[in-house]
Structure 1
């Protein structure tokens, strides 16, 4: 005869409890993965600096990875920058035109591209194409036991594979950010003078009156931080891949999702800090 306690114990969990447990487990797993990725990234950075001082850094591997990242992100970066600059100029231009201040389109559009559009586009591109490629490469090496073979031969895989990829990402991220800034501002300028009848001189005058070199440096800092997050997460997911090709695919998927989420959250944090210490002022 079943007792009331045993009946309660045999009762299946409710849908709310299942969702709560799955959400908590996912959050804790993501935080743990992010922590291991940052620890591995810092370790690889320290190893890379030591190798650089000792003149034994893997420059050939770094340049090869940098060129690969450029080939998979440059053209998509241009294709993202052009519509972003057009949309910002068109939307801001409509509002500013109703207020009778068309001369401020250059400032609003340029600052939007520099402060938010370019670094976010850089982080998303690197988190999509770059993270997927790095995680797939290292994941395939892991399931083929190449990583274990390196350890058996006394070669540190972090030193041989991870450090050059971090250096390549830190090199490519600011360059991609500058490319997106240039194309975004240029496309916004073309829309402003052709579709919104803004005088070219007025556009650049307002842009120079509000934009400053500090805004560009903050944008470059954002892109560099995003690049480090992306490559650290991608390398960690690749080196921890297991379970055959399915494990590699899961690692790539996790690397892309976690990179995009980390980039968005870090962008909010850096933006708030920059707004506190470097508010937008009329030059």
Structure 2
């Protein structure tokens, strides 16, 4: 009995691992096809500009206000927590640098990725999943129309356009809210706050933040499109695809952020500008 149970477990683990690798392979293939197809569509003047504009506007409408609501408490919490620690060390003037770097390097791109991974990915996976269940995707292929060029690429480009804009909005609101808390409640002078902020937060930090936001946006849109195009089993399958897309997006963002942070720490250490 134990031997048979162990054999079943080994078989299940092996099948799950193989299935995961196959899914990863299809995900990578979709990403490569989308990037190559977007360039080809622009060059051949067949790019779906109207669809891209509609998708970008929808993403802005569903993420702009939540981004502001998320950035305000994030900036406040960073300012309070870091301010209490810095105050004990007698370096109140460094609050601007610590708060600014926290928002720019980590808070803004992570908040951008999570917002797009929550609202954006769920919407994309549900839309494409419903189209797949209704056999619209198969109808497109029958008519010789590529679903990737018609549906995936416009959503990818829209996400890559919205991600840096959302990132900049979160940086602005987060830093501003941290500044207001530091000057109004923690006794930091405005001049010292902005002086230390400008000394430590450089354009390189902003550029890295934007690159992270773009990468997170690319990951979540590819995951959402992939899960939507592979939905099966009726409405339940669409719901499972949406759930899987959101969970995979969050996990992918967390793992990629750890890797990028390590690389940035090695090649771009924090220093006074």
Change in CA separation of 1:103 and 1:21 when aligned onto 2, cut-off 3 Å: farther
**Cα distance between partner residues in 1 of 2:92 and 2:14:** 50
Any idea what SS the aligned residue of 1:282 has?
coil
Partner of 1:95: 85
- CA-atom RMSD, angstroms? 1.8
Partner of 1:3: none
Say yes or no: does 1:42 pair with 2:32: yes
**Cα distance between partner residues in 1 of 2:80 and 2:11:** 45
Change in CA separation of 1:78 and 1:200 when aligned onto 2, cut-off 3 Å: same
Deviations 1:227-281 (A, max 9, x none): 0000001100000000000000010011001011001111111111111111100
Task: Give 1:151-190 correspondences, 5 Å limit.
Answer: 151-190=141-180
Partner of 1:118: 108
Aligned match for 2:206, one of 216, 233, 240: 216
> Is contact 1:210-1:282 (8 Å) kept?
yes
Say yes or no: does 1:233 pair with 2:223: yes
Aligned match for 2:98, one of 105, 108, 112: 108
Aligned match for 2:57, one of 67, 70, 81: 67
Partner of 2:23: 33
When Rg is computed on C-alpha atoms for both structures, the one with the higher figure is 1
**Cα distance between partner residues in 2 of 1:23 and 1:121:** 34
**Cα distance between partner residues in 2 of 1:71 and 1:89:** 28
Unaligned runs of 5+ in 2: none
> Is contact 1:132-1:255 (8 Å) kept?
yes
> Is contact 1:237-1:251 (8 Å) kept?
yes
**Cα distance between partner residues in 1 of 2:73 and 2:25:** 35
TM-score, L = length of structure 2: 0.95
**Shift in Å at residue 190 of structure 1?**
0.6
Say yes or no: does 1:260 pair with 2:250: yes
Say yes or no: does 1:86 pair with 2:76: yes
**Shift in Å at residue 25 of structure 1?**
5.3
Partner of 1:76: 66
> Is contact 1:38-1:229 (8 Å) kept?
no
**Cα distance between partner residues in 2 of 1:226 and 1:94:** 32
**Shift in Å at residue 8 of structure 1?**
6.2
**Shift in Å at residue 41 of structure 1?**
1.6
Change in CA separation of 1:202 and 1:8 when aligned onto 2, cut-off 3 Å: closer
Q: Please list every run of at least 4 consecutive aligned residues from structure 1 whose deviation after the TM superposition is greater than 2 angstroms.
A: 20-35
Unaligned runs of 5+ in 1: 1-6
